[in-house]
Chains A and B, each alone.
Chain A
Amino acid sequence: MNPSRPTRHQDPKDDAEPRPGVPNGLLLKLELHSDPRLLCAVRGALERLTELLGLSAEQTRAVTRAVDEALTNIMRHSYLGKLDGPIEIIFSRVQRPASTGPSEGLEILVCDHGPAVDPAKLQGRHLDDIKPGGLGLHLIHQSMDSVEYRRARGTNLFRLVKYFDSVRHIPNP
């Protein structure tokens, strides 16, 4: 084990004891309306967060792309272009349960209150046909290590996770 690596903590989901000073591993929480003009603001905040975590430029681009595409899908398909639909994004630190390969990561929960999504439509289209549209889900799956969807209490929850070799430790407040 690399001695310079920050102390590992259990994923709060797997451990009843949350990390001291960092409830549920929370790093950042954003609330916005489904206005596409806000996408650049989210990308900017995400770039600063990944910089703080010590992610590589490539990892930052991957995470930024996935979150941006998830928000775009919500704005287009969940809220159908309506500009005032509520969206919440929660960024948290996570640990991979089985420690094979990189075990520390960033979990991003993207929530909206649009109609339930048909899981069959979440796989993305085949890329054999060269045609515009339908690339967003494919890009999300390609950019993240884990992509999950569930519906709970009238809310669509997209859980995206990206693991890295090492994440810079952010001192507890």
Chain B
Amino acid sequence: MQISARQFDKTTILDITGDIDLANSPEIRKAVLREVREHRTPRVVMNLSKVRYIDSSGVASLVEGLKASRDLGLRFILFGLSPSAREVLQLSRLLKIFEVYDNEDQALGS
């Protein structure tokens, strides 16, 4: 799994590549919370279009990012959900909690 960041004016896009599971979800959590709590980026966008699988520990990291963002009045956005990622959020009843878009243009235009 790889994480890279692209920064625009008030937005950071975190591009994630590879499966997210117990082996690497702490890295996701660390990257997300650094962007939210340390950098206080107004809009953090998670590009999940190259994430084929995400487990409950990965979802927990995203929930932490969402909660931290809300606490600071920031936005936390997901886009490019694979069928597996969408299912796991639906089954966890979290799909409607997150701000989710199909692609990067929609996410940045929101």
Contact = CB atoms under 8 A, between A and B. Distances in A.
Interface of B is mostly: helix
B2 interface: no
Interface string A126-170: 010011110110110011000000000000000000000000000
B83 A36 contact: no
Given A61-B87, A130-B67, A136 B56 contact: yes
Contacts of A130: 63, 66-67, 94, 97
Contacts of B93: 127
Interface in A59-112: 61, 64-65, 68-69, 72, 75-76
Interface stretch (A1-9, A10-18, A25-33, A37-45): A37-45
B23 A40 contact: yes
Interface residues of B, number: 24
B88 A65 contact: yes
A136 B59 CA distance: 10
17 contacts: A36-B21, A36-B22, A39-B22, A40-B23, A43-B53, A65-B87, A68-B53, A68-B55, A72-B21, A72-B56, A130-B63, A130-B67, A131-B63, A132-B59, A136-B55, A139-B91, A139-B92
Given A39-B21, A39-B23, A142-B91, 20 more contacts: A40-B21, A40-B23, A43-B19, A58-B83, A61-B84, A65-B88, A72-B21, A72-B55, A127-B92, A130-B67, A130-B97, A131-B63, A132-B60, A132-B67, A135-B56, A135-B59, A136-B56, A136-B57, A138-B91, A139-B56
